[in-house]
Structure 1
Amino acid sequence: MKNEMRDLLAEIYARPVEIQNTQSIGGGCINETLLLSLSNGEKVFVKHNDQPPPDFFHREADALRLLGRAQGPRVPQVIGLPKTTSPRFLILEYIEPGNPDGDFHERFAHALAGLHHMSHAFYGFDRDNYIGFTVQVNKPETDPVVFFREHRLRFQQHLARQRGLLPTNVDQRLDLLLNKLERLLNVTGEQPALLHGDLWSGNYFADARGTPCIFDPASYFGLREADLAMTELFGRLPQRFYDAYQEVYPLNPGYEERKKLYNLYHLLNHLNLFGSSYLSSVKSVVNHFV
């Protein structure tokens, strides 16, 4: 893979470029990451995986380019992607991290609201992508409840059912919840909003100037409350973040209750990715509404 990276870097910079230093930055449950120091003085960030789905990094590059066109948080620019049917790595701009000091969280909230103002004619996207390694179905729909019910919750339910991860009683109660979802979601006045799609605390940071940055997207056009809810799933941002968002782009009343529904999508996905340790969290949300 190193030779493949070197060849691609030579193509990007239009001259031979040596990789002088390779620093592992660790990785999550899906990919590994590297910081490369190059002979031309540049640094680049590399995400890699030995066995990704064929279009995995193509879809991430698509999302980053789209996010980069919005008036939202900063995103790393796509520098290079191998011209193969199943690339094993993606080369991105390296953004030097800094400290989220001062009014970072207010600026992050305003930038996220700016991202969410980018809209589209339908909910979904023009192609499927991934949430982790799970396919994320983005079939276009004009009804946001249909989109969220069928292509987010029901799709994950079917996967969990096929894998034997949903006990019958939980599966049946989840069906009851899905059948009444239209009464539980308040979509009054909402338009399809460009979402990051996987906005937990590990997918945002401040750059060296304190500018809010986001990365590792699972983007589509959806209900913006889904992004906000995800920021609360594994710990939450300071309250001033949510207050600042409400000031510039108010939510419909009842978000505090609805956020559990949006996060059910991610809990089901974690159940499918990582197994039964997430079943109790799924049951808790389902039992709350049914």
Structure 2
Amino acid sequence: MQLSTTWLNQLPLKDIQSVRPVSGGDINAAFAIETANNRYFLKVQPNRGRAFFDHEVDGLTHLSRAVRTPKVIASGTIETDGYLLLGWVTAGHGSQAQLGQAVAHLHQQRAERFGLDNDFTLGKIPKINTWQTDWATFYNHQRLDVLVKLARQQGLWSATRETHFQRLRANLLAQPHMHQVQPSLLHGDLWSGNYLFNAAGEPVLIDPDIFYGDREMDFAMTTIFGGFDADFYASYQATYPLDAGYQERLPQYQLYYLLAHLNLFGETYGPAVDRTLANY
């Protein structure tokens, strides 16, 4: 995607001196913008309008109360494109122990119920965040069921997967832990690509997909693709210990993220889904 001078002139910036494409994931076009005095990170979602970034802005606002995040400068619509303008974070090096402590502090942010004030349905993976008082109900109906329905629609489901999935659902409903969870603020997509360290070595969380849920769900995501070491886990546990038995519960939360990847990328993730479902 190329941004015209006319387009760029509608940003709330003065004296833009350079604009260059940068890596920003597979969802948005991303650019580094330099003005006479500052540097910015710009995300653009073609033809989607401002509403596409409302959830991310809300997430960064929530997260910033507990951890470091990029500063939101502005968001809006230019022509038909949605944009999100953030302060630039100069990358540095930091400790996994500090990162673990930061995530623990995030999870200490609480709510009375599970969910969020708004859904996010503009992306490829819909997030139904209707408030619930019971975590088992929320996780079954508003996370797993949504992705299984989508997999069926895309021809990515089978009778074998359905059999194991129904056993898992019954297991979740019967699990004492699922009815004792306290709602924590979750990052929602806590993989290694969604954190960095700034120039001062401080951990910064980016690209949130927030809601209030079981913190073990964020924890499970850290275990799927790597990027978190023993210092991270030790520091997290020292700051905010997880409940006994969490290791045995990790697969039930890993499944959600594997189902998301199954829907996004197809049968490449089928074997991982099947191995996880085989536990039930």
- Whether 2:35 is the aligned partner of 1:48: answer no
Checking the alignment, whether the CA contact within 8 Å between 1:56 and 1:130 is kept in structure 2 is no
Which consecutive unaligned segments of at least 5 residues does structure 1 have? 11-16
Counterparts of 2:62 and 2:107 in 1: how far apart (Å)?
Answer: 12
Counterparts of 1:155 and 1:66 in 2: how far apart (Å)?
Answer: 25
Counterparts of 1:86 and 1:63 in 2: how far apart (Å)?
Answer: 23
Residue 97 of structure 1 is matched in structure 2 by 91
Identify which range, 182-191 or 131-140, moves more after superposition.
182-191
| Mapping for residues 1-290 of structure 1, pairs under 5 Å | 1-2=3-4, 3-10=6-13, 17-39=14-36, 41-52=37-48, 55-69=51-65, 71-72=66-67, 74-83=68-77, 87-100=81-94, 104-129=95-120, 133-184=124-175, 186-187=177-178, 190-288=181-279, 290=280
Counterparts of 2:168 and 2:20 in 1: how far apart (Å)?
Answer: 47
Counterparts of 2:241 and 2:80 in 1: how far apart (Å)?
Answer: 42
- Partner amino acid, structure 1, of 2:186: L
- Partner amino acid, structure 1, of 2:70: P
Q: CA deviation at 1:238?
A: 1.0
- Partner amino acid, structure 2, of 1:56: F
Checking the alignment, whether the CA contact within 8 Å between 2:56 and 2:208 is kept in structure 1 is yes
Counterparts of 2:8 and 2:64 in 1: how far apart (Å)?
Answer: 24
Q: CA deviation at 1:32?
A: 2.4
- Partner amino acid, structure 2, of 1:284: R
- Shift in alpha-carbon separation, 1:132–1:212, aligned structure 2, 3 A: farther
Which consecutive unaligned segments of at least 5 residues does structure 2 have? none
Aligned length: 277
Counterparts of 2:99 and 2:121 in 1: how far apart (Å)?
Answer: 24
Counterparts of 2:116 and 2:178 in 1: how far apart (Å)?
Answer: 19
Look up the SS of the partner of 2:185 in the other structure.
strand
Residue 13 of structure 1 is matched in structure 2 by none
Note the aligned Cα RMSD (angstroms).
2.1
What TM-score, normalized to structure 1? 0.89
What TM-score, normalized to structure 2? 0.92
Alpha-carbon displacement from aligned partner over 1:15-35 (angstroms, at most 9, x marks no partner): xx1321112222322122111
- Shift in alpha-carbon separation, 1:149–1:283, aligned structure 2, 3 A: same
